[in-house]
Structure 1
Amino acid sequence: MPGRQQPAGGQGGHGRTDHGQHGHAGHSHGVSAHADRRWLSLALALICAFIVVETAIAVLAGSLALLSDAAHMLTDAVSIVLALVAMRLSARPARGGYTFGLKRAEILSAHANGLTLVLAALWLGYEAVRRLLDPPEVTGWMVVTTALVGIVVNLLATWCLSRANRSSLNVEGAYQHILNDLFAFIGTAVAGLVVVVTGYVRADAIATLLVVALMLKAGYGLLRESGRIFLEAAPVGLDPDAVGDDLAAADAVTEVHDLHIWTITSGEPALSAHVLVEPGGDCHRVRLNLHRLLADRYGLTHTTLQIDHAGRLPSGAHALTTVGAGPAHCDSPHGPFHHDGPHPH
């Protein structure tokens, strides 16, 4: 996560780069990392055992729906393995050039899970269309029996993952894999019943297409959320303009710029900003007030604020909009600025 350099202080001892509370007490969400690993490992064991059985039956029954479920369950198993590895990596302490540690390994895992869902959906969609045009024979009773067992297995696996911390995008990625597979088995069971009762073998391919739609939806959601974190967008539901305006409206604050809000990893939002205080204002008091505002109103506890006294500018002028007025607080300002009064965003 480049670009997170601590800005230097200003003149006269007023420049301060202060950090908020970094304990992240609100990030545990009541579920320990050890418990997460235990629940994921149990779900992995259930899925791996069933994959072997389902693949053999899919080949014997000639069912694409069952084979698609087996392939999807294989991606489920891979997604859980990735999640477990990512948990191990993210738990390592920060060292060397990795000043945030490997916390984003979990986001990489979620991104990979989203990508595998999309790729698997595209392949299954192609196979389903091909079988709609030239449907093979399908042994309906085998499909129904296996699908019913699969529903039970996936219900158990889904329950296991629901016990883990789903506010983690990493765990949510694995959960979405399992949940979509549960829907796939339900569709497969219905398709098998249709084949047994009516002999309409295309029902198998139609069920596969329904599963494909669910996989694409879940995969896109994971790619979108992980992509936002990689691009360091503000967390969903948190408006940086509103945050900046609230900071600028605080007592003794004249301007806020270089405001950035991003997510380090799931459940760990962070903020940094350069705040200018009116000449003669108490920088330390302003800093404490702003930290309290950010924590109470927005739940932001990992904050870095540089507090400086503003230069004496002409009436109505502002540090980033007036050339040659007062000391240069930022040689190369970046991001929007906010001040105490009407201003564009």
Structure 2
Amino acid sequence: MAQHASSQSDSHDHAHHGHGHSHDHDHAPTVTADSEKRVFWAMLLTAGFMIAEFVGGIISGSLALLADAGHMFSDSASLAMALVAFRLSARSPDRQRTFGYRRFQVLAAFVNGLTLFAIALWIFYSAIDRLMSPVDVMAGPMMTIAVIGLFVNIVAFVVLHRGDSDNINLRGAAMHVLGDLLGSVAAIAAALIIMFTGWNAADPILSVLAAGLILRAAWQILRRSAHTLLEGTPDGVEVAEIRTALESIDEVESLHDVHLWGLTPQDPLLSLHLVVCDGADHAYVLKQAYTVLRERFGITHATLQLEGEACLTGGDCETTLSEGWTR
């Protein structure tokens, strides 16, 4: 366990915990060449057919195809972000970016979410316009393109699903492609209804269903990425549980000035002040605290400050803790 401490007084230590036996800031999951290759091919399949579906939607007059193309655009962007994240995660931190480039994927996800909202609103507007002013739809070409799209989505999903199931980027990309399957199914259903009944309103109505799926994906992406950009607590990690676990360590009396955030939703970072009793073994306390954080909460990057009763940084730390996180 790597750590360093500098004594500012008899009761004040500051320690910073990195990874393994070094102080690098590489929080990225293990990236394999196979995972990166699978994302690359899935992106090519999705982006290539997205263009074909967009052109087919224009030619056939199908709003459902255009809606599905919009959904595939979002998935192509998500796959591209996953690929970029693979590439950037391998880059070392530098003097201007001491954490490296991991947060790029969060910023890109936020922009992608805004784009999805714009696409969904356009589909809703177009659907209302189509219902008020019906347009003849060429059901034959629409059906052909939708079926090919379904096949492409199945192939892309299989490519991703057979990869590393523990890789968060690969798993997320597979879920996006799986969502595309529903859009293709909606387009096929609309084409069948038009072919057998001639009811052209089925096209804009089912396109609204696809738009709803896009809005749902957009909201989830925006909510999670905005939470991370605002330094919110990572999923699955609770401050109250951390406090209880650390205060159970021998010689620890209390803790305050707790800050828990994430470089990405999967990379929790923590800093806090630990108040220890007089004569405490600081090295022992630090070792126990880092072990608890790593083994119980999966936090492998933490900065801990050991001190006596008074907060030596001058902050009103106790008030912050009692008013915010103990409720």
Q: Which of 301, 309, 321 does residue 337 from structure 1 map onto?
A: 321
Letter in 2 for 1:245: T
Unaligned runs of 5+ in 1: 1-5, 312-318, 320-327
SS at match of 1:69: helix
How far apart are the structure 2 equivalents of 1:88 and 1:179? 24
Native 8 Å contact 1:10 1:329 kept in 2: no
Match status 1:262 vs 2:261: yes
Q: Output the TM-score relative to the length of structure 1.
A: 0.82
Letter in 1 for 2:16: H
Query: Which residue of structure 2 lines up, in the alignment, with residue 19 of structure 1?
Result: 16
Distance 1:136 1:100, change over 3 A: same
Letter in 2 for 1:127: S
How far apart are the structure 2 equivalents of 1:91 and 1:8? 31
Letter in 1 for 2:315: S
Distance 1:166 1:100, change over 3 A: farther
Shift of 1:150: 0.5
The share of aligned pairs that are identical, in percent, is 34
Deviates more, 1:218-227 or 1:83-92: 83-92
How far apart are the structure 2 equivalents of 1:53 and 1:154? 13
Native 8 Å contact 1:86 1:105 kept in 2: yes
Q: Output the TM-score relative to the length of structure 2.
A: 0.86
Shift of 1:307: 1.5
Q: 1:102-251 residue pairs with structure 2 within 5 A?
A: 102-163=101-162, 174-251=173-250
Letter in 1 for 2:218: G
Shift of 1:32: 2.0
Unaligned runs of 5+ in 2: none
Native 8 Å contact 1:167 1:266 kept in 2: no
SS at match of 1:232: coil
Shift of 1:285: 1.1
Native 8 Å contact 1:137 1:201 kept in 2: yes
How far apart are the structure 1 equivalents of 2:251 and 2:177? 53
Of structures 1 and 2, the larger Rg is shown by 1
Shift of 1:50: 2.0
Distance 1:9 1:273, change over 3 A: farther
User: In the TM superposition, what whole-angstrom CA distance separates every residue of 1:257-312 from its partner, at most 9, and x where no partner exists?
Assistant: 1111111124221211111110111111111111122222222222221112x24x
SS at match of 1:118: helix
Shift of 1:103: 1.1
User: In the TM superposition, what whole-angstrom CA distance separates every residue of 1:62-102 from its partner, at most 9, and x where no partner exists?
Assistant: 11111222233234333333332343233321111211111
How far apart are the structure 2 equivalents of 1:7 and 1:134? 73
Native 8 Å contact 1:7 1:17 kept in 2: yes
Shift of 1:173: 6.0
Letter in 1 for 2:47: C
Distance 1:332 1:127, change over 3 A: same
How far apart are the structure 2 equivalents of 1:195 and 1:202? 8
Deviates more, 1:76-85 or 1:216-225: 76-85
Distance 1:212 1:52, change over 3 A: closer
Match status 1:10 vs 2:20: no
How far apart are the structure 2 equivalents of 1:141 and 1:129? 23
Query: Which residue of structure 2 lines up, in the alignment, with residue 38 of structure 1?
Result: 37
How far apart are the structure 1 equivalents of 2:326 and 2:272? 18
What's the Cα RMSD here? 2.9
How far apart are the structure 2 equivalents of 1:74 and 1:344? 44
Shift of 1:171: 5.3
Letter in 2 for 1:211: A
Q: 1:315-330 residue pairs with structure 2 within 5 A?
A: 319=310, 328-330=311-313
How many residue pairs get aligned? The number is: 318
How far apart are the structure 2 equivalents of 1:104 and 1:90? 10
Native 8 Å contact 1:144 1:188 kept in 2: yes
Query: Which residue of structure 2 lines up, in the alignment, with residue 295 of structure 1?
Result: 294
Query: Which residue of structure 2 lines up, in the alignment, with residue 316 of structure 1?
Result: none
Shift of 1:202: 0.6
How far apart are the structure 2 equivalents of 1:129 and 1:91? 47
Distance 1:344 1:229, change over 3 A: closer
How far apart are the structure 1 equivalents of 2:95 and 2:27? 24
SS at match of 1:265: coil
How far apart are the structure 1 equivalents of 2:228 and 2:173? 18
User: In the TM superposition, what whole-angstrom CA distance separates every residue of 1:199-244 from its partner, at most 9, and x where no partner exists?
Assistant: 1111101111001111111111111111111111111222102211
Query: Which residue of structure 2 lines up, in the alignment, with residue 325 of structure 1?
Result: none
SS at match of 1:280: coil
SS at match of 1:337: helix
Query: Which residue of structure 1 lines up, in the alignment, with residue 251 of structure 2?
Result: 252
Shift of 1:147: 0.8
Native 8 Å contact 2:67 2:210 kept in 1: no
How far apart are the structure 2 equivalents of 1:79 and 1:198? 37
Distance 1:116 1:243, change over 3 A: same
Letter in 2 for 1:19: H
Native 8 Å contact 1:164 1:171 kept in 2: yes
